[in-house]
Amino acid sequence: MQEDQDINPIVLRRETGDDGAPRLVLSGRCTLTSLGGRMRSLSAELAGYAADPVLQWDITEIAQMDDVGAVLLWRAWGERRPAHLLLRPEQERLLDRLQTPPGPPPPARDWLWPVKVLGRGAFLLWEHLLSLLILSGQLLLDALYLVGHPQRIPWREISANLYRTGAQALGITALVGFLIGIVLSYLSSRQLQTLGADIFIINILGVSIIRELGPVLAAILVAGRSGSSMTAQLGVMRVTEELDALTVMGIPHSLRLVLPKVLALGIAMPLVVLWTSATALIGGMVVAEIQLGLGHQFFFRKLADVVPVANLWLGLGKGVVCGMVIALISCHFGLRIKSNTESLGEGTTNSVVTSITVVIIIDAIFAVVFSNVGLK
């Protein structure tokens, strides 16, 4: 077989056609084995022939041609077919595989793309707000139903969510609150020492932590910890078709899954805020005693005088509102997750980001509305 291929290498023969036009006839075998060491020289020779635009190419006498031979001819022709080409059907199919279809034309520049992006964002925001409003209305109806049927209250689910969102969050919130109190007290004491106003460290720590930092810090930690857990739980139930099974059994999602989470986080959140604020004040008190020499007994006695109790109730109120809103948003995104893992990760991320954003918005609203409350 090898000897047969070597005996019949490709042969180029230039002749004149019946119409008097020059013609190049290729015969023999145009394969990798038959070309051998002639490939480079043959490529240059074929390219020289291809420079003649009136030359007719006849490859019907090629007995055998593989992909290497077809590529050799295709590159010699400048990756396009000659104007005059004679070939057999099987050679036609071989060359067709080498032709790349033209790419799509470049899209026309859309000068209105900012408007379209803003429009899509506005419609998406409206869709989320409408879904949240519907879910809130359904929860209100469920709550009214449970008032008339107290034996149907899901105490077990509420208790389990209280433990997960409240008791299990005490460790991380205490650690972060204590460290924040240390940092705030240390930086404030350094500035107050330069002014000789060491005593005002109690005012700064008391108002800033009890009124603002404690509730916001606790809400952000709960949104990242418990909110993501709620969204992931509902998302996994969607992926494993547990939500569909509940629907088939006639068990409403809002009554058994959403309402216990909202009530539990609404109860647990003010307690977590109180715990976080207390640990932050302890951290600030430790630094104040070390840096400024203010004893802890003096610190607590003065704290009750300079910080009105209205600030405490304001912080606890923020905790209730933020807790219920975080649970509502987390359940909203959890119920919207589709039956795939990609949607699960995207929904959890959107839930945490939205919850933290809404917490900051709620804090800003409280700051504006209650600007004259609790401040001397």
Do 335 and 215 have their domain in common?
yes
pLDDT at 6: 46
Alpha helices (H) along the chain? 2-7, 32-35, 39-50, 67-76, 89-96, 113-148, 155-165, 170-195, 201-207, 214-222, 228-239, 242-248, 253, 259-292, 296-306, 309-335, 341-369
pLDDT at 362: 94
Q: Is residue 118 part of a domain?
A: no
Please give the average per-residue pLDDT across 78-98, as a whole number: 79
Q: What is the pLDDT of residues 12-45, one digit of tens each?
A: 888 877 777 788 888 888 887 777 777 778 888 8
Q: How many independent structural domains does the chain possess?
A: 2
242, two tokens: 């547990």
pLDDT at 262: 94
pLDDT at 7 over 70: no
Give dist(CA 81, CA 96) in Å, integer. Answer: 10
Q: What is the pLDDT of residues 114-171, one digit of tens each?
A: 888 899 999 999 999 999 999 999 999 999 999 988 888 889 999 999 999 989 999 9
User: Domain containing 267: what range?
Assistant: 127-369
pLDDT at 161: 92
pLDDT at 100: 65
Do 72 and 151 have their domain in common?
no
Amino acid occupying residue 73: L
The three-class DSSP label of residue 294 is coil
Q: Is residue 105 part of a domain?
A: no
Percent of the chain with pLDDT over 90: 36
pLDDT at 103: 62
Neighbour tally for 134: CB within 10 Å: 12
pLDDT at 200 over 60: yes
What residue has token string 């600007």? 371
Do 278 and 319 have their domain in common?
yes
Neighbour tally for 210: CB within 10 Å: 27
Do 182 and 312 have their domain in common?
yes
Q: Is residue 107 part of a domain?
A: no
Report how far Cα 58 is from the mean position of its chain's Cα atoms. Answer: 59
> Which of 53, 73, 96 is the endpoint of a domain?
96
Do 359 and 244 have their domain in common?
yes
The three-class DSSP label of residue 81 is coil
pLDDT at 358 over 70: yes
Q: Is residue 111 part of a domain?
A: no
Crossing angle of helices 39-50 and 67-76, in 10° steps, is 40
Percent of the chain with pLDDT over 70: 96
pLDDT at 314: 92
360, two tokens: 């900051």
Do 242 and 344 have their domain in common?
yes
Q: Is residue 122 part of a domain?
A: no
Do 174 and 36 have their domain in common?
no
pLDDT at 211 over 60: yes
CATH of residue 41's domain is 3.30.750.24
pLDDT at 101: 63
Give dist(CA 55, CA 80) in Å, integer. Answer: 14
Helix (H) or strand (E) holding 51: none
pLDDT at 4: 45
pLDDT confidence of 8, banded at 50, 70, 90?
low
Do 140 and 17 have their domain in common?
no
Q: Cα-Cα-Cα-Cα dihedral of 90, 96, 97, 99, to 10°?
A: 160
Q: Is residue 213 part of a domain?
A: yes
Q: Is residue 108 part of a domain?
A: no
pLDDT at 307: 85
Q: Is residue 101 part of a domain?
A: no
Do 271 and 134 have their domain in common?
yes
pLDDT at 376: 62
pLDDT confidence of 252, banded at 50, 70, 90?
confident
> Which of 96, 119, 136 is the endpoint of a domain?
96
pLDDT at 102: 62
Burial class (CB in 10 A: 0-12, 13-18, 19+), 257: buried
pLDDT at 333: 93
Q: What is the pLDDT of residues 261-297, one digit of tens each?
A: 999 999 999 999 999 999 999 999 998 888 888 888 8
pLDDT at 1: 40
Q: What is the pLDDT of residues 72-84, one digit of tens each?
A: 888 888 777 787 7
pLDDT at 2: 42
pLDDT at 163: 93
Do 135 and 240 have their domain in common?
yes
Average pLDDT of the residues of the chain: 86
DSSP 55: -
Do 193 and 67 have their domain in common?
no
Do 168 and 238 have their domain in common?
yes
pLDDT at 220 over 80: yes
Range in 118-122, 281-285, 348-352, 370-374 with the lowest mean pLDDT: 370-374
- 349-359 burial, b if ≥16 CB within 10 A, otherwise e? ebbbebbbebb
Please give the average per-residue pLDDT across 227-240, as a whole number: 90
